[in-house]
Amino acid sequence: MSDAGPAHGTDNGPLAVICGGGALPFAVADAVGKRGRRVVLFAIRGWADPQRVAAYPHHWASFGQFGWFCRVAQREGCRDVVLIGSVVRPAIWKIRPDFKTLRLLPRIVGLLRGGDNRLLKGVAAIFEEHGFRLIGAHQIAPDILMPEGPLGRERPTAGDQADIATALALLDATSPFDVGQAVVVADTRVLAIEAAEGTDRMLARIAELRRGGRIAPGSGKGVLVKAAKRGQDQRVDLPSIGPHTIEAAAGAGLAGIAVVAGSTIIAEAEATAAAADRERLFVIGVRDHTATR
Amino acid sequence: MSDAGPAHGTDNGPLAVICGGGALPFAVADAVGKRGRRVVLFAIRGWADPQRVAAYPHHWASFGQFGWFCRVAQREGCRDVVLIGSVVRPAIWKIRPDFKTLRLLPRIVGLLRGGDNRLLKGVAAIFEEHGFRLIGAHQIAPDILMPEGPLGRERPTAGDQADIATALALLDATSPFDVGQAVVVADTRVLAIEAAEGTDRMLARIAELRRGGRIAPGSGKGVLVKAAKRGQDQRVDLPSIGPHTIEAAAGAGLAGIAVVAGSTIIAEAEATAAAADRERLFVIGVRDHTATR
């Protein structure tokens, strides 16, 4: 957040928000809009929610239309760009590249090999080389970051705290491998580690393992812990939670959720707190004790 | 294997094989029987295959019958015990403890918290305290261990070799957390890390992610890599592969399987090699470069 400030303010023209799925892009757009800066959505077809997109100035975009994006964003006067919302990396032959994208394709193919972090860093570099400034949602809308401490009414027990510490240490160990921002630990036992499947599927797996008796019912409820990868480019990929994370964690029978304060986006904080109270789950922002992350 | 030798020979009485699910217990029983030593199976109800059990001297056993086991094993003259085959940790209230087990119950409850390694080490200690000697399948039947080098016809590419190295390093990093003996890496990207779900479910997940387009088809086939945890008690839990592992890996669209030579059990080596050739997967025993494991 040290580089937030006047340069990200209204004097820098409208903000281009490249908008994937979920509620996050609109939370960012609203937070920025409230400060009086114009926002233009570039909504990704198949991912962004058309009903919600309609409420903002917007253009519909597809993967592979980078030349088109450069022209339209320049015409709108946008220099600053935020990339936010969920997308799944597309198969390379599903991309219909325009001329500029076509020239970048060998480089993009190279980026599609390897982990998300590598891919996103490469995409960020491409934007910057074309005169845009890529800005993190956390820089431009710091009010959407999870603060330290509990969010709703519930609190972690001493046992939950121990599970959180184990989980953070494990995430730190896997971090160099550009994998998994999330694990579930119950009663000192690691139940699941996220890789390509994403947090929602990992939580669905816990629910299934419980139903199948593979996790004995007496073995503790467990905590979902999410943390940004070490060396992750926070401008393009921060862990996030929202009401649906609460529902998924409740479905998995967990006691609560812990995230790293200041580097986790919380979409719809009030709705998330309300869901946590309803499901009797704790949600807590913890300090990151690993200075290296 | 340094403690294999005459002490594990026929002069030490019959061998008690506590027998879970799958083909491994019978592979061990056959390997030991071939050397002229009598084998008595203690087949765990609900796990051991009744048809195959019938071909050996056997008793049917249930969780919680530790006092009964001690009496029957002593009557059979068994001092050496092998624990082998798949079981899922039972819920504590599903155990119907006999008197001796009842007295051990507080300790067992404590062991059921935490990872598999901790649980199995505790169980091993209980056997030893009651005058039995717990022996690893790899000690008593070294011919069921995976040797170094390829098993069937196929060979890993240079890209596969790089994925194998990444996977071994990742398994080394997660090893202190008593979790996961298996990962899948494709084209330098970590696709899945095993925790409580087991290898079969992890491979089923890869197949599902591919079908759902979550793993783009162009992103490389991938390698399943299994390795024993560092500090693991090899007498009670070695990674294992068999024909069904080949089928599951083929279903997940992988290029092959790598395991650590000398510390992985291979059940039905010939059938496994035949399945690998049929599915055109490589299976390779690699040297463990991490001396600490």
Share above pLDDT 70 across residues of chain A, in percent, rounded to a whole number: 88
Q: Is the pLDDT of residue B135 over 60?
A: yes
Chain B closest-CA separation from residue A232 CA (Å): 15
Q: Is the pLDDT of residue A100 over 90?
A: no
For residue A29, what pLDDT is reported? 93
Q: List, edge to edge, every strand of the sheet that includes B223-226.
A: A149-150, A282-286, A256-260, A223-226, A182-186, A189-193, B189-193, B182-186, B223-226, B256-260, B282-286, B149-150
Residue among A113, A115, A215 minimizing CB distance to B190: A115
**At a CB cut-off of 8 Å and minimum separation 6, what does B169 contact?**
A177
For residue B73, what pLDDT is reported? 95
| Integer CA distances (angstroms), A273 to A146, A151, A280, B150, B277, in order | 11, 6, 10, 54, 55
Chain B closest-CA separation from residue A198 CA (Å): 9
| Global pTM value | 0.79
Residues of B in contact with A86 (CB under 8 A): none
Indicate yes or no: CB of A189 within 8 angstroms of CB of B114: yes
| Integer CA distances (angstroms), A91 to A111, A119, A133, B158, B188, in order | 12, 14, 27, 24, 17
Share above pLDDT 90 across residues of chain A, in percent, rounded to a whole number: 51
- Strand B256-260 with B223-226, pairing: parallel
A179, A181, A183: best mutation site toward chain B, by most B Cβ within 10 Å? A179
CA B179 to chain centre: 14
Point out which residues pair with A60 in neighbouring strands.
A43
CA dist., res. B11 & res. B34, Å (int):
15
Residues of B in contact with A209 (CB under 8 A): 196-197
Most confidently modeled range among A122-136, B47-61, B109-123: B47-61
Q: Is the pLDDT of residue B57 over 60?
A: yes
Q: Is the pLDDT of residue A39 over 70?
A: yes
Indicate yes or no: CB of A201 within 8 angstroms of CB of B205: yes
CB B254 within 8 A of CB B159: no
Between B115 and A270, the more confident residue is: A270
Average pLDDT, rounded, for chain B: 86
Give the 3-state DSSP-derived string for chain A, with helices as H, strands as E and coil as C.
CCCCCHHHCHHHCCEEEEECECCHHHHHHHHHHHCCCCEEEEEECCCCCHHHHCCCCEEEECCCCHHHHHHHHHHCCCCEEEEECECCCCCHHHCCCCHHHHHHHHHHHHHHCCCHHHHHHHHHHHHHHCCCEECCHHHHCHHHECCCEECCCCCCCHHHHHHHHHHHHHHHHHHHHCCCCEEEEECCEEEEECCCCCHHHHHHHHHHHHHCCCCCCCCCCCEEEECCCCCCCCCCCCCEECHHHHHHHHHCCCCEEEEECCCCEECCHHHHHHHHHHHCCEEEEECCCCCCC
Interface of A with B (CB under 8 A): 88-93, 112-115, 166, 169-170, 173-174, 176-180, 183-184, 187-198, 201, 205, 209, 213-220
Average pLDDT, rounded, for chain A: 86
Residue B290: pLDDT band with limits 50, 70, 90: low
Q: Is the pLDDT of residue A45 over 70?
A: yes
DSSP state, B87? Answer: -
For residue A290, what pLDDT is reported? 57
* Chain A residue closest in CA terms to B189: A114
Indicate yes or no: CB of A216 within 8 angstroms of CB of B179: no
Tell me what the mean pLDDT of segment A92-106 comes to: 80
CB A142 within 8 A of CB A82: no
For residue B293, what pLDDT is reported? 42
DSSP string, B10-39: GGG-PEEEEE-BSSHHHHHHHHHHHTT--E
* Chain B residue closest in CA terms to A197: B209
For residue B123, what pLDDT is reported? 85
Residues of B in contact with A192 (CB under 8 A): 195-197
As a dihedral over the C-alpha atoms of residue A157, residue A163, residue A168, residue A171, rounded to 10 degrees, the angle is -150
A173-185 pLDDT tens trace: 998 888 878 999 9
Q: Is the pLDDT of residue B218 over 70?
A: no
B154-206 pLDDT tens trace: 999 999 999 999 999 999 999 888 887 899 999 888 999 999 898 999 999 99
Between B32 and A289, the more confident residue is: B32
